[in-house]
Amino acid sequence: MKEVLITLGVLLLVMFGFYWVSNRFPANKEVKQMVSDREIFFEVPENMTSGTEAEIILKAKHESGKIVSFNVNFNYDPAMVKVLNINVNKDIFDKSATSEIDEVFGKVMVTGENLKNRDELVSGEIILATLKVKGLRKGGTMIYSSRKAEVGILDDGKVAEGNFKMPNFKVNFL
């Protein structure tokens, strides 16, 4: 019985020590959000409802160069969302292959390229494509990149591949 009481006393002493150290030296809980100057993201309207069609805009942001081509692949949950149509921004990208939508596995591939008026392009935030979607059920789902986005950047007359990030994106249907 004496050994049990000693073990219990040591355990309480260790717990008190951890409590004292954790309150004396609190963990740094400051969250820093990294802002990237090269990012592909979605712009979604508020209050999308299931059973109705809505437009989601696929955008890219680049601060120093001009985007002349892109190839973006992403996945979604086909039980929650149906992608009806994808329109590449024809004002910027004059050549675009047919966008591929795999409704069974929930995969989308969107491509576009500018071949003619590259001097007129501007840097900053641009619209790559517009997706027409329909929510099938109430709830939330994720849209996530299935592979690294390939983006061509025109910088000083040469086209180079940009290192773009595409964070996961949550879509809610009411």
Six-digit token string for 50: 């299931």
Residue that has been written with the tokens 């081509």 in this structure: 69
Q: How many residues does the chain have?
A: 174
Q: Which pLDDT score, from 0 to 100, does residue 109 have?
A: 92
pTM of the model: 0.72
Q: How many domains does the chain have?
A: 1
147 in any annotated domain: yes
pLDDT digits (tens, 9 = 90+) for 96-145: 777 888 989 999 999 988 887 777 777 788 889 999 999 888 888 888 88
The proportion of the chain whose per-residue pLDDT surpasses 90, expressed as a percent, equals 11
25 in any annotated domain: no
More confident residue, 120 or 43: 43
Which amino acid is it at 34?
A: M
153 in any annotated domain: yes
80 in any annotated domain: yes
Supply the range of the domain harboring residue 59: 38-173
The CA-based angle 68-108-55, given to 5 degrees, is: 80
83 in any annotated domain: yes
Give the domain CATH number at 161: 2.60.40.680
pLDDT digits (tens, 9 = 90+) for 58-111: 988 887 778 888 889 999 899 999 999 999 988 888 877 778 889 899 999 999
pLDDT digits (tens, 9 = 90+) for 147-163: 888 888 877 777 778 77
